[in-house]
Structure 1
Amino acid sequence: MAASAGGIQGLGTLLGGLSGELSAFVLVVQHLRRSRETRIVPVLSRRTDLRIKLAQDGDDPNLGTVYIAPPDRHLCVGPAKRLALTEEEPVNFARPAADPMFESAAKAYGSRTIACVLTGSDGDGSQGIAAVKKRGGTVIVQDPDTAEFRGMPRSAINTGLVDLVLPLEDIAPAITRLVGRC
């Protein structure tokens, strides 16, 4: 999942619609300011039964857990499908950025990857969803009319690679159905 401006509210709504028994793990890139300590974990933990944590380099992802990219680190799936945090250059002026996360997840999980682009004011995620589609994964985008900021959803839709464009409240049920098929 990727979000930028307006993302905390959108992520709270989406994650709140997923069961704590979700038979998948979730990676999240939310553009965060690196200049101060983030409060995203406690904020999102109040909205969902899923376990929320800041990702750590080398984490072995567990089902039912949401891994949030920490400020100023890209979150990727690395060797042996462990999580990797990198300090590579910003992508679309952001670190963390969605594109490296989507690309690495697609490489590791292929057709079992579900990329989800939510509210935001830039084009982050649009390149990464191409990698997801190339490997048979599914791309879901928040309907721009329900997004606080429409830039990221519109940019993703403009690629022509999106499988589902849904209002925010309909994304969690769609993910639940898709995970059940994996």
Structure 2
Amino acid sequence: MLTTTTVASRQVYDDPRVKMRVDTIRLGDRPVLERGVIEQSNSVVVVPMTDGGDVLLVKQWRHAVQSILLEAPAGHIDPGEEPRAAAIRELQEETGHSAANLSHLPGFWAAPSISTEYMHGFLASGLATSSRPQDEDEDVETAITPLSDIPRLIREGTIIDSKSIAALLSALYLYPELITPD
């Protein structure tokens, strides 16, 4: 039987975007040990589909890994904001598009061994160019990609971040009718 208990917890870092704590835990009757926990707000990931069977991905610099990554649009949920509203906002901020339809995709823990962040997945369709400009703090480039190319891009290591892989493969698996024959 799994019997992990938290013996103590202390905050070691506090920033507007992220906090970190160190928990002292006991695994059953074994000696205590420490685990770092990154406290982040929950977030959304969106798979935006065009009427022609393409998905709007974004290219953006990810400082932590020192690389430009090809990703599904995503971002944090603001305090008091509902996941659906965050998905609409993030889609607009990162791609400059709005969506007539938003369907749920499975949600998931982003990195459950170290983070409290839960990601809500959405499939967006009925896309239209938004009249609202992209946010000034967004430095992204849109990449229109055939949905049928997604498995190959994942297999080849072109799409390598977990949230995008989870959301894109969920969309392909749960909505196979999205793939239009060439």
TM > 0.5 fold call: no
In the superposition, the TM-score normalised over structure 1's length comes to: 0.25
In the superposition, the TM-score normalised over structure 2's length comes to: 0.25
More helix by share: 1
More strand by share: 2
- Larger Cα Rg: Structure 1 or Structure 2? 2
